[in-house]
Structures are given as structure tokens and as C-alpha cells.
Amino acid sequence: MTPLKRFYDLLKLDKKDVSQIFFYAIFAGLISLSLPLGIQAIINFIQAGRISASWIVLVILVVFGVALVGILSLMQLRITENLQQKIFVRSSFEFAARLPKIKFEELYNKYPPELANRFFDTMSIQKGTSKLLIDFSAAILQITFGLILLSLYHPYFIVFGILLFLLLYFIFKFSYNSSLESSLKESKFKYKVASWLQEIARNNISFRNELNFDYALQKNDNLVTDYLNYREKHFNIIKRQFGQLIVFKMIITMSLLSIGGFLVINQQMNIGQFVAAEIIILLVINSVEKIILGLESFYDVLTSIEKIGQVTDMDLELETISDYTSCNTNIFLETENLEFKFPDSKNNILDSISLKINQGEKIVINGENGSGKTTLIRVLSGLLHQTSGSFYINDDSFRKINLNQYRSQIGSIVHNETPFEGTILENITFNDPNITDENIKWAINATQLSSLIKTLPQGLNTKIFPEGRQLSSSNAQKILLARSIIHKPKILFYEDPTDTMDETVANEIIDFITSEKNNWTIIVSSKNPYWKTKCNREIMMENGVIIQDSKI
């Protein structure tokens, strides 16, 4: 989809508001161009040396017209403000709804927080769209009405109108592609600079060292240099367009003053008509200048829409209608010749995986680094989709369970997962009103969080910084564990869930998780050997293949 088509689709969502803006612009344009006619009549009265009631009425009408144009502009501002608010709200919910649902394949080799930064282009779209709708609509209408009015004074002015439209057409035609391309490249390096600053902030402790600090500045300098180069290229195109406008203004001004003077001298136009025509010409030239200067905003809007479109175009997981309350029975997992490989990989990460997992089994997956343990867990938990083969999720009535319903029945901890910014209670429950205080207490005690919470003045309402920065790594893991069990799910998927905890605490939590009182299925990968002593099944992996699947 082209940037222009994206912009059209954006405006189409608010056709009523856009139509009102154009209606007010047409009305204001007509009033603005009636002012020169009023001035023409006033000058004619003055030339005749008469002061009459008609002259006074005309003065009042001209002043009233000026006031009315101002009121119409204010009404346009109100509409564009509403439009800007709608754009912001839609964009924020578009990102919030899409980011968790984007397919893994789309996010591969991309950094999701950097994609989220694209949201800031919404501000450029807000301001730019408002400017384009008000200034461009007013300018185009003033040019159109002005040329029509001038042509009524004398046919010579028709030539002026033709030249003007040819100018605008050729300026836009020969600069559109290059301007948009340079604007997109400028934006690309703008985001690279922002991404690198984000990395410096995220690893600020590492960059405190003087040598590392120098590297941070050097890399920033290289990125900023690239940004400035493309920024300069884009500015040169804008500068060339404006230079063409200056030459055009000089030629048109000289020609029209000469033509107007010639027509007045030959009595084909009176002095009032000449003054009115010059006012109209100035309005038209200023409108052309406004359009040329506004092209930078136009390119910025198209670039911003294209950058956001790179996120909104990403494929989402297939949505299916779910009945979360209907899955009250046991869940069985089965794979047949399942294979998985990453988008840019030629070799399979998982190869010919055939498994049957019954409700209540406690399975530990072992193997060397790179053996495929993590990938298998993520495929089984629905985070990744197999490249080939079959993966069945069924309850004991052999009814197929869809992905959304399945996720409502599982708890998981993936490697490098951290708490989000919010209270401890929000991190555990996500403000689910169906979770009772009794269940919260049960999860907190089970994961040994109670001793921490008792020391906090605000208890469960204590705010957590992003990534749980003020928490120890063991307490951050306990919060994730409490979150994973709070709904008492059917299946737990764990990647190194207790590896940052003291051995005694970790083993006590493992004892609870693997207790016979809990009928959930456990599928865990961990360096802690204690998990193996508490599980009843071990899967050994090597190079993406199961080399051993045995009871313990």
C-alpha cells in the first residue's frame, strides 16, 4: 500500500469532520475573495468623491467579512483538534491491541520496544494532518476562486491561471518520489539514533566506564551523521522547490503589474478593478507559497504514516472465538513429526518431534545449550507455530481447543521475562476481577512472597519499576511464579523458573509446584537438578531431536 493510499484511508475514517473542514474553507474562501470586490467598490466611491450610506454599508460589510473569516477559522480549529484526538486514540489502541498479537515470524530479528517507538510518529500525523487540512484546503480554494475571479476581469489573466497550475503540477510531479524517499531515509536514521539512546539508557551502568562511554558517543556520532546527511538531502529538495517559487513569483508579479498597468492606461480596467486584481493576485501567490512550504509537512505526514504502517501491516495471530469457561476437563497435547525452523534458517531447530502428554504429567526437558529445549517449550505453549507436522490440543472429549482458549488454561515463564511497570498486585493478577483474595494469598504463600510484601509499606500496592529494577532477581522470579499459578491453570510451561533463587527457597517452591495436590501438567526446562527428582518423566534432547523419553 502506498503512503498516499494510507493517508486517504486515514482521512476516510473521519469523512464527516474532513467534509466540514472543506465546507468552512469554501465558505471562508468565498468571503475572503468578496473582500477585494468590496474594496474595489469603496475605491470607486472615493474616486467619485461621494460619501454615502452605500459606502458606509460596504465598509461595515468588509469588516464583518473579516470577522466571519476569523470565526470560520476558529471552527476549523475545533474540528481539527477533535480529529487529532481521534488519531491519537486510534493509534494508541492500534498499537496496544497489535503488539501482543503479532506473529513471532514477523517479530523475528526485530526489537519490539523499538517498534513501539514508531508510535511517536502519531504526533507528526496529528500536527501535519491538521495543517494540511486547514492550510492546503484554504490555499487551493483561494487559488481556484481567485483565478476564476481574475478571468472575469480580463482574458489575459486566464494565462496566469494556466501557468500557475502547470507550476504546481511540475513541482509536485518531479519532486514527489525523491522527497518521499529522502524523508523515509531520514526517518530511518532518526529511529536508529533513538534506538541507540534507548540502548545506552538500558545499559547505563556498562557505559559509565570511560572507554565504553567513548564508544557510545562515537556510535551516536556515526548515526547522527547519517541522519544529518539524509536530512540535508531532503532539505535540498525543499530548498529547490522554494527557489522555483521565488523565480515564479518574480515573473508573475512583474507580468501582472505590467499587464494591469497596460489595461488601466488603455481604459480596459479602472483603478478600483486594478487594486482588487492586485489584492487577488497577492492572495493567490501567498496561497501558492503556503502550499510549497506545506509540502514538507505533507512529506512528513506520509513518512510517519508509512513508518506506523510497517507495524500495523505485520500479520497477527489468527483470531478465533473462544469460550473460556467451557474447558473444564483435562487437556492432552500431542505432536506428530513436528518440525520448526526460524525464518532465516536452512536447518530445523526441531526435527521429527512426536510426543503425547497427558494431564497431570510432570516433565523435565534436559539437554545441552542449543539442543532445542526452549524452542520445544515455546511451540508446545503456543508462542511459536510449527513449520511442519501436527500439534493437537484436545480435552478428554477429543474436542479441539483453539489457541486463545488454550492460553487461558496455561501458566508460563519464558526466559528473560520480567515484571512490568505497575503494582505487585497488578503484576500478579492483571486486575482480573474474578481472582479472589483467597487465591491471591494462596499464590503469594506458595511462592514465598509474603515475607517481602510484609516489609513493604504499601504491601501489594507497591509500585514496581520497569523490568522490576528495584527488586532482587529472586523476588522478580517469585512474582512471575505467582502470576503463572494464580488462575490455577491446567498446564505450566517453565524456562529456568527458579534459577536465581537460593537453593533452599527454590527447592521449597519446586516441592509446592510439583505437589500431588496440584493436578496441573508441568513442562519445565531448568539447570536446577532438583526438578528431575520431583518430575515423573524426562525428555532428553540433542540437536533438535528427542534422544530419550523415559519415566523417572
Calculate mean pLDDT across residues 123-128.
90
Residue 76 lies in a domain: yes
Same domain, 283 and 366: no
Same domain, 357 and 482: yes
Same domain, 481 and 386: yes
pLDDT recorded at residue 21: 82
Residue 326 lies in a domain: no
Give the pLDDT band of residue 422 (cuts 50, 70, 90).
very high
- 325: pLDDT strictly greater than 50: no
pLDDT recorded at residue 251: 74
Q: Are 138 and 25 in contact (CB under 8 A)?
A: yes
Q: Are 552 and 536 in contact (CB under 8 A)?
A: yes
Same domain, 487 and 344: yes
CATH number for 440 = 3.40.50.300
What's the distance, CA 528 to chain centroid? Answer: 41
Residue 319 lies in a domain: no
Same domain, 155 and 300: yes
User: What's 4-36 look like in SS3?
Assistant: HHHHHHHHHCCHHHHHHHHHHHHHHHHHHHHHH
Residue that terminates a domain, selected from 250, 285, 312: 312
CA angle 354, 355, 360 (to 5 degrees): 175
Q: What percent of the chain has pLDDT over 90?
A: 37
Residue that terminates a domain, selected from 261, 278, 312: 312
Give the pLDDT band of residue 41 (cuts 50, 70, 90).
low
pLDDT recorded at residue 48: 61
Residue 321 lies in a domain: no
DSSP category for residue 135 = I
- 312: pLDDT strictly greater than 80: yes
Same domain, 348 and 301: no
**Cα gap 332→400, rounded to integer Å:** 10
Same domain, 99 and 48: yes
Residue that terminates a domain, selected from 283, 312, 341: 312
Same domain, 345 and 282: no
Calculate mean pLDDT across residues 283-305.
83
Give the pLDDT band of residue 326 (cuts 50, 70, 90).
very low
Residue 320 lies in a domain: no
Give the pLDDT band of residue 323 (cuts 50, 70, 90).
very low
CATH number for 205 = 1.20.1560.10
Tell me if residue 523 falls in helix, strand or coil. strand
Distances (CA, A) of 517 to 332, 363, 408, 467, 520: 19, 16, 21, 32, 9
Give me the amino acid identity at 60.
Answer: I
pLDDT digits (tens, 9 = 90+) for 466-485: 888 888 999 999 999 999 99
Global confidence as pTM: 0.77
Q: Domain count for the chain, please give it.
A: 2
Residue that wins the pLDDT comparison between 264 and 43: 264
Calculate mean pLDDT across residues 7-18.
86
**Cα gap 153→272, rounded to integer Å:** 11
427's grid cell: 503484576
pLDDT digits (tens, 9 = 90+) for 48-102: 665 556 666 666 776 777 777 778 778 888 888 899 999 999 999 999 989 988 8
The H or E element that residue 152 is part of is helix 137-153
Average pLDDT of every residue of the chain: 84
Strands 362-367 and 537-542, bridge-based pairing = parallel
Residue 361 lies in a domain: yes
DSSP category for residue 490 = S
Same domain, 157 and 217: yes
Same domain, 308 and 339: no
- 143: pLDDT strictly greater than 50: yes
Residue 414 lies in a domain: yes
Residue 488 lies in a domain: yes
State the residue range of the domain holding 95: 3-312
Same domain, 29 and 86: yes
Same domain, 71 and 217: yes
pLDDT digits (tens, 9 = 90+) for 227-249: 999 999 888 888 887 787 777 77
Cell 510484609 identifies what position? Answer: 454
